[in-house]
Amino acid sequence: MIEKILSLISHWAERQSGIDDIEVQNINQDVVPEWHRAINWITFYEDNWDHITTDT
């Protein structure tokens, strides 16, 4: 469960940095959404395995 929480926090920080037009240190903006999607897939976030969302 801690991975899920870290994924949500990282994804929120990445998205918020785009809104605020600031750069977040030590967060790869290409990897965070994929990591979030993977955690959601592993934890059965949705029933459709082919369409996993990353809502925060």
If one compares 13 and 27, the residue with the highest pLDDT of the two is: 13
pLDDT at 56: 62
What is the DSSP code string of 35-47? HHHHHHHHTT-SS
Contact 53, 46 (CB under 8 A): yes
Please write the tens of the pLDDT for every residue from 33-52.
788 888 888 887 777 778 88
Residues 12, 26: Cα–Cα separation, whole Å? 14
